[in-house]
């Protein structure tokens, strides 16, 4: 099986053009599981970890954006300036797998897999992130909402590579919370990202539907009340609004009923943390 290891984006997009059936690999923490379980049989692999611009991140205060290259691993998002700029992403990153998984697993791989349980994805949805894609001949950027189109389905074209994401910096509190069947090494049963920007709340849910759900009705409801007025009783009502926007299913990880209960608890807790009540 040929494994190409390009050292530039140009080389990678040319290789993908010439080998349209090639499988893209970053950390391999999703792909190698599929190979090991015989669910995927790559004839050709293009490994992207050696492309320098994919490994970089930067905080651009002039544009108010954080740019994260697709190969940046969770371990980098957990601490330091990146975590200070994007606390919700840091919290999400800390919940992923084990230290070994966080050292190898990347934001590009999470987007590539596009599971509704992907921990970085509710954060990208709540923060209005943009995903950057490049082929040999063109480059485009799409909002996260346009990028994720179904469970494990995204709008990446076969000749495109995810190069990274741009995430607007918010001026208010942001946080991420997840429930799983245990406290570590666990895929989420329900997850919520809540962010406050210009005194307005934004909420996105993971593992509560076929895609990440942005709760626009709940956002409008709570924002019409105003952050200064939020108390424990309103937080409970907010939980009900969020539950109403969730679309949980029964599966091997949980029941729809438990997920609906859990997401309300998480949303209310995050809201109260956000307004410090
Ligand atoms: C033990 C274990 C625990 C885990 N725990 C969690 C968890 O708690 N939360 C969570 O969200 N995930 C978890 N995962 C899943 C996985 O670690 C993440 O989804 C991770 O982000 C995948 O990144 P990767 O770089 O390893 O992707 P890879 O496995 O390399 O790739 C994943 C998919 O994305 C595609 N891809 C990779 N890079 C690109 C690119 N630049 N452009 C286009 N497509 C690309 C690949 O072709 C493949 O389809 C876990 C996995 C394991 C094995």
**182 confidence band (pLDDT: 50, 70, 90):** confident
Distance of CA 163 to the CA centre of its chain: 15
**Which residue has the CA at smallest separation from atom 41 of ligand 1?**
162
Sheet holding 139-143, edge to edge: 57-60, 65-69, 161-168, 130-134, 139-143
Atom number in ligand 1 closest to CA 73 = 25
- The C-alpha atoms of residue 191 and residue 269 are separated, in whole angstroms, by 12
Atom number in ligand 1 closest to CA 118 = 11
Between the CA of 263 and the centroid of ligand 1 the distance, in Å, is 24
**Which residue has the CA at smallest separation from atom 25 of ligand 1?**
27
Between the CA of 75 and the centroid of ligand 1 the distance, in Å, is 14
The CATH number that domain 3-168 falls under is 3.30.465.10
Work out the percent of the chain whose per-residue pLDDT is above 90: 97
Q: What is the pLDDT of residue 184?
A: 84
pLDDT at residue 176 tops 80: yes
**Which residue has the CA at smallest separation from atom 27 of ligand 1?**
109
Atom number in ligand 1 closest to CA 180 = 8
Between the CA of 276 and the centroid of ligand 1 the distance, in Å, is 34
pLDDT at residue 127 tops 70: yes
H-helix or E-strand containing 277? none
Q: What is the pLDDT of residue 183?
A: 83
Between the CA of 50 and the centroid of ligand 1 the distance, in Å, is 17
Q: What is the mean pLDDT of residues 130-151?
A: 98
* Tens-digit pLDDT profile for residues 90-116: 999 999 999 999 999 999 999 999 999
- The C-alpha atoms of residue 139 and residue 38 are separated, in whole angstroms, by 33
Atom number in ligand 1 closest to CA 178 = 8
Q: What is the mean pLDDT of residues 143-167?
A: 98
CA of 253: how far to CAs of 11, 122, 186, in Å? 41, 19, 10
Asked if residues 71 and 112 have their Cβ atoms less than 8 Å apart, the reply is no
Pocket test for ligand 1, best of 16, 21, 22, 29 (most atoms within 8 A of CB): 29
pLDDT at residue 43 tops 90: yes
**185 confidence band (pLDDT: 50, 70, 90):** confident
Question: Would you state the structure tokens that stand for residue 261, as one six-digit string?
Answer: 């209960």
Q: Domain spans of the chain?
A: 3-168, 174-274
Q: What is the mean pLDDT of residues 168-180?
A: 97
Question: Among 3.30.390.50, 3.40.50.150, 3.90.226.10, 3.30.565.10, what is the CATH number of 174-274?
Answer: 3.30.390.50
Ligand 1 binding pocket (C-beta < 6 A) is 23-31, 33, 48, 70, 95-97, 101, 104-106, 108-110, 112-113, 118-119, 156, 161-162, 187
Between the CA of 186 and the centroid of ligand 1 the distance, in Å, is 14
Residues 6+ apart with CB under 8 A from 213: 125, 204, 205, 245, 246, 247
Work out the percent of the chain whose per-residue pLDDT is above 70: 100
Asked if residues 35 and 41 have their Cβ atoms less than 8 Å apart, the reply is yes
Number of residues that make up the chain: 277
Q: Per DSSP, which regions of 119-268 are E strands?
A: 130-134, 139-143, 148-150, 153-154, 161-168, 174-179, 190-197, 200-206, 213-214
Name the average pLDDT for the chain. 97
**277 confidence band (pLDDT: 50, 70, 90):** low
Between the CA of 30 and the centroid of ligand 1 the distance, in Å, is 4
pLDDT at residue 211 tops 90: yes
**186 confidence band (pLDDT: 50, 70, 90):** confident
- DSSP 8-state symbol, 210: S
């Amino acid at each position: 099986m040929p494994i190409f290891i390009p050292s530039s984006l140009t080389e990678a997009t040319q290789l993908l053009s010439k080998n349209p059936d090639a499988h893209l690999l970053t950390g391999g923490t999703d792909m190698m599981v599929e190979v090991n379980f015989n669910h995927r049989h790559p004839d050709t692999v293009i490994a992207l970890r050696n492309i320098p611009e994919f490994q970089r991140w930067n905080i651009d205060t002039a544009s108010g954006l954080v740019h994260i290259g697709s190969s940046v691993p969770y371990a980098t998002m957990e601490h330091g300036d990146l975590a200070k700029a994007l606390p919700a992403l840091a919290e999400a990153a800390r919940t992923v797998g084990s230290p070994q998984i966080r050292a190898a697993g990347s934001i590009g791989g999470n987007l590539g897999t596009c599971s509704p349980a992907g921990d970085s994805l509710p954060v990208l949805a709540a923060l209005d992130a943009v995903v950057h894609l490049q082929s040999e001949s063109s480059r485009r950027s799409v909002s996260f909402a346009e990028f994720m189109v179904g469970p494990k389905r995204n709008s990446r074209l076969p000749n495109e590579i995810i190069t990274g994401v741009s995430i607007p910096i918010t001026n208010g509190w942001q946080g991420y919370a997840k429930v799983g069947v245990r406290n570590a090494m666990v895929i989420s049963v329900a997850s919520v990202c809540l962010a406050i920007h210009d005194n307005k709340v934004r909420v996105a849910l993971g593992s509560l539907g076929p895609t990440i759900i942005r709760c626009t009705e709940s956002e409008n409801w709570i924002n019409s009340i105003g952050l200064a007025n939020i108390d424990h009783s309103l937080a409970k009502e907010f939980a009900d609004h969020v539950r109403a926007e969730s679309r949980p299913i029964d599966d091997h990880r949980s029941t729809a009923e438990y997920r609906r209960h859990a997401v309300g608890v998480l949303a209310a807790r995050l809201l109260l943390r956000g307004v410090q009540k």
